[in-house]
Amino acid sequence: MDGGPAGGSAVDGRIDRAGRGGAAVSGGAAGGAGAVRTVRGAVFDVLRRHGLTTVFANPGSTEVALLTDLPEDLRFVLALHEGSVVGMATGWAIARERPALALLHTTAGLGNAVGALATARVNRAPLVVLVGQQDRRHLALEPFLTGRLAGLAGDYPVRVEQPARAQDVPGAVGRACHEAVHGGGPALVIVPMDDWAAPFPDDEPPAAALAVHRVAAVDGADVARVAALLDEARAPALVVGAGADGAAAWAALTRLAERLHAPVWQESFGARAGFPQDHPLFAGHLPADRPRLRAALAGHDLVLTVGTAVWRQYPYTPGPLAPPGTRLVAVTADPAEAHRSPVDLAVLAPVAPFAARLAAHVTPRPGRPPAPGRPTAPAEPPPDGGPLRPAQVFAALGARLDAATVLVEETPSSRPALHALVPARAPLGFLSAAMGGLGFALPAATGVRMALPGRPVVAVVGDGSALYQVQALWSAARYGAGVLFVVLSNGRYAVMDRLAERHGGKPPWPDFAEVSVAALARGLGCPARRVDRHDELVAVLDEVVPTLAERAEPLLLDVAVLADPDFQP
């Protein structure tokens, strides 16, 4: 498990900072009083200082010099595809609220992981990513496995660094640690394979701050300005996003909503819940097209958005986002969100302390708050043992899951029903891919469970989504991540089918009903069961759900379902 700083091995009264028990790295010489410190050992020191002692990786030849004889205090976690490497690290980082370490193999590894890195960026997951490169001494000749790596992941990394010298690598890793945290995303360091054995003199400057502390100050004038706008409003409403997912932010926003008697909406396509979704003032999830968005917010003359930009949409429809005359205010800790939001006022500030001061500053409203009237979908069991609908699966889950459960979602065609029937009742109660790309849930749920071994984790995934990173099931089984994977199997890409129908045409892609996710899971060493009837589902959930907090073995339920008839993409 990742932990705090740890020392190396004692060798004749000194620390062997190469990080190996009594043996120098450089040249493989025997350790002793003259043990040589290497770049590899210096990087291990940096990683320990930042608590990065778990390495998520799928190794390649350019990383062997780093990984062979890994120190005992560093844990190696193997994933079978680089998308799973980054997905597991993303889940780990989000769950622990601290950076995670991923290792990728030159062009092939980084290229395979680009989609997952984009998801990590939009999910604000702090990742330190080491990318292997060919030997520095003949890079100019572009030998086999040379990578043109600096721009391969585009703008999604918050930092990409190619150290000019081998001795600059430890400082680059230290800067990546800081940038991953404060930039909110993956920071990449590209390391030629021969750099690891290069000497790192004791007098070499670290070239990176040992610690960076961001002051979470809140400007009282900004609080007063937003409070005045709320006090002037006749009927304010709140919209919350992933940036408000945390105990302090939930408590502050709950108090603010109750003092204002204001309904609280969750952003559309929200990757995390920004408010307790079982609270009476929770109004539901904003729709993702402008006409329905304006209808949802009708009657509100001011909308305060907290922890997200204003507002994510999917299909383009003309017209304004908000009803005419509605003032928009955004509070976010993310500069990009603040800058792109079409609002009357954007405040760039730490969300939880700002919301807490705002709640104390606004004038409480008399009377009783209006009930938002959030609809709930009916989900009665199918008659006579008929085929299951997704809502019936979610109703069975919602009735049994503990409030502390982390639910990781990747079922696009039935997400509205999931939101209605399995609300997030605790921070980190809901997690999904903010980017929208598939292949997130299986590795992310595995990483979350490895990071939080005492917290129940359930992944609800469509069968099409599961096939993007089904390899992650091997890692879940190998490392004892006791996730319950609930795969909704309809043998097709239901969202794409519906979109094709909306366009008035016939899709050219076939279904894949012959694919058995349960058989694939078992082939990867993950226990699996096929579920075809409601009574089977209830029986297995009653058996398994009470064990989720302590189980060390994953289980996949391959649940046969019909496509959701009410879904509107």
Q: Are 465 and 415 in contact (CB under 8 A)?
A: no
At residue 25 the predicted structure's pLDDT band, cuts being 50, 70 and 90, is very low
Q: Using CB atoms within 10 A of its CB, is residue 318 exposed (0-12), middle (13-18) or buried (19+)?
A: exposed
Q: What is the average pLDDT value for the chain, to the nearest integer?
A: 90
Position 14 confidence tier, pLDDT thresholds 50, 70, 90:
very low
pLDDT of residue 375: 58
Q: Would you state the pLDDT for residue 553?
A: 97
Question: 519-562, pLDDT tens digit by residue?
Answer: 999 999 999 999 999 999 999 999 999 999 999 999 999 999 98
Q: So what's the pLDDT on residue 371? A: 64
DSSP state of 23: B
Tell me the sheet residues that pair with 406: 457
User: Is there a contact between 335 and 348 (Cβ–Cβ < 8 Å)?
Assistant: yes
Reading the block at residue 311, the tokens are: 């507002």
Predicted pLDDT of residue 316: 86
Fold of 220-361: Rossmann fold (3.40.50)
Q: What pLDDT band is residue 6 in, cutting at 50, 70 and 90? A: very low
**List of E strands, 171-233:** 186-192
pLDDT band at 385 (very low <50, low <70, confident <90, very high): confident
Kindly report the backbone phi and psi dihedral angles of residue 330, in degrees, each rounded to the nearest multiple of 5, phi listed first.
-125, 140
149 or 202: which carries more pLDDT confidence? 149
Q: Distance between terminal CA atoms of the chain?
A: 41
CATH 1.10.3720.10 assigned to 9-197:
no
pLDDT of residue 431: 98
pLDDT band at 379 (very low <50, low <70, confident <90, very high): confident
State the number of CA atoms in the 13 A half-sphere of 532 facing the CB.
Answer: 3
Please say if the pLDDT value at position 122 is more than 50. Answer: yes
In this structure, the number of other CB atoms found within 10 A of the CB of residue 292 comes to 14
**What is the per-residue pLDDT for 34?**
57
- For 294-323, the pLDDT digits (tens) are 999 999 999 999 999 998 888 888 999 999
Residues whose CB is less than 8 angstroms from the CB of residue 339 and which lie 6 or more positions away in sequence, other chains included: 346
Distance CA 103, CA 288 (A): 36
- pLDDT tens track for 71-84: 999 999 999 999 99
Pairing of strands 75-78, 9-11: unpaired
State both tokens at 182: 């404060």
Instruction: Taking residues 91-113, report their average pLDDT.
Output: 97
Tell me the average pLDDT across 338-367: 95
Cβ burial, residue 139 (10 Å; 0-12/13-18/19+): middle
Q: What gap in Å lies between CA 501 and CA 562, rounded to an integer?
A: 17
CATH of 385-560, one of 3.30.420.10, 3.40.250.10, 3.20.20.150, 3.40.50.970: 3.40.50.970
Q: How far apart, in Å, are the Cα atoms of 279 and each of 121, 264, 372, 545?
A: 30, 9, 10, 24
pTM of the model: 0.90
Domains 220-361 and 385-560 share a fold: yes
pLDDT at 372: 62
On the question of pLDDT at 406 being above 90, the answer is yes
Chain-centroid distance, C-alpha 252? 23
pLDDT exceeding 70 applies to what percent of the chain? Answer: 91
* AA identity, residue 435: M
Query: d(Cα 214, Cα 217) in Å, to the nearest integer?
Result: 9
Q: What is the pLDDT of residue 264?
A: 97
Percent above pLDDT 90 for the chain: 78
pLDDT at 75: 97
- Higher-scoring residue by pLDDT: 565, 149: 149
Q: Would you state the pLDDT for residue 274?
A: 97
Per-residue pLDDT tens for 202-239?
A: 888 777 877 777 777 898 999 999 999 999 999 999 99
CA distance 496 to 500: 6
CA–CA separation, 521 and 489 (whole Å):
13
Instruction: Identify the H or E element spanning 499.
Output: helix 494-502
Domain boundaries, the chain: 9-197, 220-361, 385-560
